Amino acid sequence: MSKTTLQFLLLGLILVLAQVIVFNHICLFNVAVPMVFIYLIFRLPITLSLNWTLTVSFFLGLIVDIFSDTYGMNAVACTVVAMLKHPVLRLYVPREEDLTRPEPSMLSLGVAVYMKYLLTMTVIYCTLIFIIEAFTFFNPLQLVLRIVFSTILSMIIMLGIDSLMTSRSEKRL
């Protein structure tokens, strides 16, 4: 296995454990739940085939579902987000040749484009997971509050993880 594959496996293990053990038990003001394990899906290389991306995303969501008793909601939302990853990335980067690295990051996309990409993907995931969870529009204000504040909280944590993942030599560039 290559160094990159091992890094992604280790990152996936750490993010799933952190999600299941820590972040699933955080609910700020009864609306904001951080979803950080999806960071792995966002960082998967764009050179990875769609089949592999969907498979990795499905199993990542399924593992979180198993330990969280969410009955496949994360598996469905992760698979849909993985399916939308390339079209969303093409909204902000018209040509894949413009990327300096195969995995989306602040270094390869630039700060503004990466923030838009991360925000769009996080909003899509949070919208999907909370609509699937509620399965009703009975309380639309509560639904919108959960989507907005969970997106904000997840973004802050994922940006912190991203700053930890970027080596010091890459930060200087």
Structure tokens at 54: 């969907």
**Confidence tier at 93 by pLDDT (50, 70, 90):** confident
Local confidence band at 168 (pLDDT 50, 70, 90 cut-offs)? low
| pLDDT the model gives residue 3 | 75
pLDDT of residue 105: 80
The residue among 172 and 68 whose pLDDT is bigger is 68
What is the percent of the chain with per-residue pLDDT over 70, rounded to a whole number?
A: 91
Q: What pLDDT score does 170 carry?
A: 52
Contact 74, 134 (CB under 8 A): no
Please give the structure tokens belonging to residue 64. Answer: 């979180």
